[in-house]
C-alpha cells in the first residue's frame, strides 16, 4: 500500500467517521427535546410564515393562508374526524398538507401517517412530494427555513425520502414516517391493513376511487386508528355522484346516523372571495360543457355530465303486483293464438 493511497484512505475513513457521528447524533431519539420538540410554532399562521407561504396560482405570488384554510386546520385539531366537500383549485389539499406538516413536529411526532389518493398512485405521490417540498432546502437560500435565528436544513429534519419508489415514504428524524397509497390500485384494500402505529390518515379525492363498491376501503382503514382517540382521519374530495362511501358518509353525518364527524363545505365562492380563483377562469369553466360545474365547483352531488337522466329526476317506480296482465284484453283485441276453452269440460 502506497503512502499516498494510505493517506487518502485515512482521510476518507475520518470523513466517514465524522459523518456517521453527526448522523448518529441527529438521528438518536435522545434527548427527546431535540427529536420531538423542535420548538416550531403550533399556531397555523405562524408555522406557515416560518416555512414559507404557498404560491397563489391566480397571482403567482406567495400569500398567507386564507381564513377557510385555517378553519380546515382548526377543525382537524379539534374534531379529528373531518370530511370535506370541496371545490377544485381553492387550496384545500394544500391546507391539509401543511396541517400534516405542522403536526409532524407536534401531535404526530414519532408515529406514522398515511396519505391516500382515491384515483391513482401518482396523485398520492404528488401529495407526498408537496409535503417534502415544505422542508426541502430552497435553492436561493441554501436551507429550508429559519426559526429563532437558526437556519434549518433538510438534513436536520429528514432522514430519508423515496417519492417514486416502490414504497413511497418520507422518514423524519423525530421518527415520524409518512407513507402514500392509491385506493384504486389496492383491490380489496388489503394493503391498508397491518400498520400499527398510524396516527393520521389523509384521504384525498375520496369520492374518486373508481370502484363500484368502495366501502371495503374504509372498512380496512378505520381499524388502524381504533386505539387512539386523538388520531385524525381526514376525508376530502370533490363530489362524484350520489354513490360511494364518501357520499354515504356525508349524508349519514347530515342525518345524524353517523356521529363524531365534522363536516366542512368549501365551494368556489370561497376561492373567489380570497382571490384564489379568478372570474375569468370560472366563466370559462361554466361555459365548458364537459365540466360539471355544479359538482366540480359548487360542491353538489350530481350525476355525470354524460348521463341521459339526472339521478334527482328519476322517480323510483313502485313494485308491480305479482299477477298476470292480459295486454290484449286491455286494448280490446281477441287472442287468436290460443284455442278457446271448452266451458262444458269445466262443468
CATH number at residue 43: 3.40.50.300
pLDDT of amino acid 23: 35
Q: Structure pTM?
A: 0.78
> Domain for residue 329, yes or no?
no
Look-up of cell digits 269445466: 346
| Alpha-carbon torsion, ordered 217, 221, 226, 232, to 10 deg | -120
Average pLDDT over residues 161-176: 94
Which stretch, 24-33, 217-226, 334-343, has highest mean pLDDT? 217-226
C-alpha grid cell, residue 60: 403567482
Question: So what's the pLDDT on residue 249?
Answer: 98
Question: What per-residue confidence (pLDDT) applies to 6?
Answer: 47
Chain segment 286-296, per-residue pLDDT in tens: 999 999 999 99
Per-residue pLDDT at 84: 98
At residue 337, the pLDDT reads 53
Q: Is 94 part of any domain?
A: yes
Mean pLDDT of the chain: 83
Residue 315 has pLDDT above 90, yes or no: no
The answer to whether residue 317 sits within a structural domain is no
In the chain, how many domains are there?
1
120 found inside a domain: yes
Number of Cβ atoms within 10 Å of the Cβ of 62: 11
Q: Can you state the angle between helices 67-79 and 44-51, rounded to 10 degrees?
A: 120
Reported as a pLDDT band with limits 50, 70 and 90, residue 69 is: very high
Is the residue at 6 inside a domain?
no
pLDDT of 26 above 70: no
For a pLDDT cut of 90, what percent of the chain falls above it? 64
Of 122 and 333, which is predicted with more confidence? 122
Could you tell me if residue 237 is inside a domain?
yes
State the first-to-last Cα distance of the chain, in angstroms, to the nearest integer: 123
**CA gyration radius, the chain:** 29
Q: How confident is the model at residue 229 (pLDDT cuts 50, 70, 90)?
A: confident
Strand partners, 56: 61
User: Domain span at residue 261?
Assistant: 30-277
Residue 340 lies in a domain: no
Q: What pLDDT does residue 8 have?
A: 47
Segment holding 262, helix H or strand E: strand 262-266
Mean pLDDT of 1-13: 47
Residue 287 covered by a domain: no
pLDDT higher than threshold 90 for residue 174: yes
Amino acid at each position: 500500500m502506497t503512502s499516498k493511497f494510505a493517506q487518502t484512505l485515512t482521510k476518507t475513513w475520518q470523513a466517514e467517521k465524522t459523518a456517521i457521528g453527526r448522523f448518529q447524533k441527529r438521528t438518536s431519539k435522545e434527548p427527546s427535546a431535540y427529536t420531538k420538540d423542535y420548538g416550531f410554532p403550533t399556531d397555523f399562521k405562524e408555522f406557515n410564515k416560518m416555512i414559507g407561504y404557498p404560491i397563489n396560482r391566480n397571482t403567482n405570488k406567495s400569500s398567507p393562508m386564507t381564513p377557510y384554510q385555517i378553519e380546515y386546520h382548526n377543525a382537524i385539531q379539534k374534531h379529528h374526524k373531518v370530511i370535506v366537500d370541496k371545490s377544485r383549485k381553492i387550496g384545500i389539499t394544500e391546507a391539509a398538507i401543511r396541517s400534516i406538516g405542522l403536526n409532524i413536529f407536534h401531535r404526530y411526532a414519532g408515529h406514522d401517517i398515511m396519505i391516500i389518493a382515491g384515483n391513482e398512485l401518482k396523485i398520492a405521490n404528488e401529495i407526498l412530494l408537496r409535503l417534502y417540498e415544505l422542508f426541502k432546502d430552497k435553492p436561493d437560500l441554501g436551507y429550508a427555513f429559519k426559526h429563532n435565528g437558526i437556519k434549518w436544513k433538510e438534513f436536520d429534519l429528514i432522514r430519508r425520502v423515496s417519492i417514486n419508489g416502490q414504497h413511497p415514504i418520507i422518514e423524519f428524524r423525530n421518527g415520524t414516517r409518512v407513507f402514500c397509497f392509491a385506493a384504486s390500485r389496492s383491490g380489496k384494500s388489503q394493503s391498508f391493513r397491518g400498520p400499527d402505529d398510524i396516527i393520521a390518515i389523509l384521504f384525498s379525492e375520496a369520492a374518486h376511487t373508481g370502484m363500484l363498491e368502495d366501502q371495503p376501503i374504509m372498512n380496512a382503514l378505520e381499524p388502524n386508528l381504533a386505539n387512539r382517540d386523538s388520531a385524525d382521519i381526514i376525508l376530502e374530495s370533490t363530489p362524484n355522484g350520489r354513490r360511494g362511501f364518501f357520499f354515504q358518509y356525508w349524508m349519514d353525518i347530515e342525518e345524524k346516523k353517523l356521529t363524531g364527524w365534522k363536516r366542512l363545505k368549501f365551494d368556489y365562492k370561497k376561492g373567489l372571495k380570497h382571490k384564489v380563483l379568478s372570474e375569468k377562469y370560472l366563466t370559462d369553466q361554466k361555459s365548458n360543457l364537459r365540466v360539471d360545474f355544479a359538482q366540480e365547483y359548487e360542491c353538489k352531488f350530481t350525476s355525470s355530465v354524460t348521463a341521459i337522466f339526472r339521478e334527482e329526476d328519476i322517480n323510483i317506480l313502485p313494485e308491480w303486483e305479482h299477477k298476470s296482465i292480459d295486454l290484449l284484453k286491455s286494448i280490446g283485441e281477441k287472442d287468436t293464438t290460443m284455442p278457446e276453452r271448452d266451458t262444458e269440460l269445466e262443468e
